[in-house]
């Protein structure tokens, strides 16, 4: 499936900024089932950017702007050819050993409720059939957290989302990851894009999880939709949680009262979905 993507992020300030630096994880990788045919990034200072891979294997571009400015617009766009691999990840550059993805973070730290949720699908022990267990966990998380835009915010933790019983794809992924790590299964956060005509437009920029399954490797699980990623998904970057996998991280000197606007367009052969 050919998927066209346009992702525009605009920061505006009430007062001019003197300097800005942005770390951009906005370039999807090519691997089995995902082939990037074309991709371009436009951002202030990008003509002199530094490119590297971070500790998770993500492609990162570092761009800075030293002139006075009252805003920044960053645009990433391109075409990606995808195939359904049943969520199984092969051919992806791996930098970190999988055991590091057992690490807890403030956003994924389990509380009593998450530990009980994990035990409900694992009988309190590391499962012998982790694939079946992870599918059960995906369904359990989806049933426990209703999808509701605006119910949570970017810093909401897995424990808070589960207690609230509602959230968005970021929250579903965090709860799944937290519970998988409780069971003893390495799990990581993934952000990317999703092509669908049935969900809310805000799902065009999407988040899900990947967990390690012996004999298969990394496998994607999308609790928000209750399925493994298909050819409708484009994988962008991964990390311990939403913070470390964020497409854009940056800072500036000056530039008070920052406002953020994000627009994402994902389409296939003229069928467009817009955020």
Q: Give me the domains of the chain, ranges plus CATH numbers.
A: 2-82+247-274 (2.60.40.2250), 98-239 (3.10.620.30)
Lookup result for tokens 């990317």: 192
Q: Single out the residue of 192, 200, 196 nearest to residue 167, CA to CA.
A: 200
Please enumerate in sequence order all residues whose Cβ is within 8 A of that of 265, keeping only pairs 6 or more positions apart, or say none. 4, 5, 6, 7, 204, 272, 273, 274, 275
Is the pLDDT at 87 greater than 90, yes or no?
yes
Question: Among 6-20, 83-97, 118-132, 214-228, which is the least confidently predicted range?
Answer: 118-132
d(CA 64, CA 67): 10
Model confidence band, residue 275 (pLDDT cutoffs 50, 70, 90): very low
d(CA 208, CA 176): 9
For every residue of 46-60, DSSP letters joined together read GGG-EEEE-TT--EE
Looking at per-residue pLDDT, the higher value among 202 and 12 belongs to 12
Is the pLDDT at 197 greater than 70, yes or no?
no
Specify whether the CB–CB gap between 147 and 167 falls below 8 A. Answer: yes
Q: Kindly report, residue by residue over 44-81, the tens digit of the pLDDT.
A: 888 889 999 999 999 999 999 999 999 999 999 999 99
**pLDDT over 90 for what percent of the chain?**
83
In terms of Cβ atoms closer than 10 Å to its own Cβ (0-12, 13-18, 19+), residue 214 is exposed
d(CA 195, CA 217): 25
Is the pLDDT at 199 greater than 60, yes or no?
no
Specify whether the CB–CB gap between 220 and 210 falls below 8 A. Answer: yes
DSSP state of 204: G
Q: pTM value?
A: 0.92
């Amino acid at each position: 499936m050919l998927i066209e993507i346009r992702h525009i992020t605009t920061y505006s300030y009430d007062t001019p900024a003197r300097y800005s630096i942005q770390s951009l994880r906005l370039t999807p990788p090519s691997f089995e089932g995902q082939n990037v045919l074309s991709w371009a990034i436009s951002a202030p200072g990008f003509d002199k950017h530094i490119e590297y891979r971070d500790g998770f294997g993500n492609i990162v571009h570092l761009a800075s702007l030293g002139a006075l400015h009252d805003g920044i617009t960053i645009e990433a766009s391109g075409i990606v050819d995808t195939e359904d691999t049943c969520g199984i990840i092969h051919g992806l550059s791996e930098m970190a050993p999988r055991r590091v993805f057992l690490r807890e973070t403030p956003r994924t730290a389990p509380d009593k409720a998450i530990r009980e949720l994990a035990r409900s699908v694992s009988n309190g022990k590391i499962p012998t059939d982790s694939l079946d267990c992870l599918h059960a966990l995906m369904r359990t998380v989806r049933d426990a957290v209703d999808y509701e835009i605006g119910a949570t915010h970017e810093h909401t933790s897995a424990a808070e989302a589960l207690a609230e019983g509602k959230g968005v794809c970021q929250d579903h992924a965090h709860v799944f990851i937290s519970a998988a790590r409780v069971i003893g299964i390495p799990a990581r956060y993934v952000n990317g894009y999703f092509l669908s005509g049935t969900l809310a437009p805000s799902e065009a920029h999407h988040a899900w999880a990947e967990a390690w399954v012996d004999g298969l490797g990394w496998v994607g699980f999308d609790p928000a939709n209750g399925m493994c990623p298909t050819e409708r998904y484009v994988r962008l970057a991964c990390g311990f949680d939403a913070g470390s996998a964020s497409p854009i991280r940056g800072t500036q000197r000056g530039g008070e009262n920052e406002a953020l606007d994000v627009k994402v367009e994902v389409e296939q052969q003229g069928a467009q979905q817009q955020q």
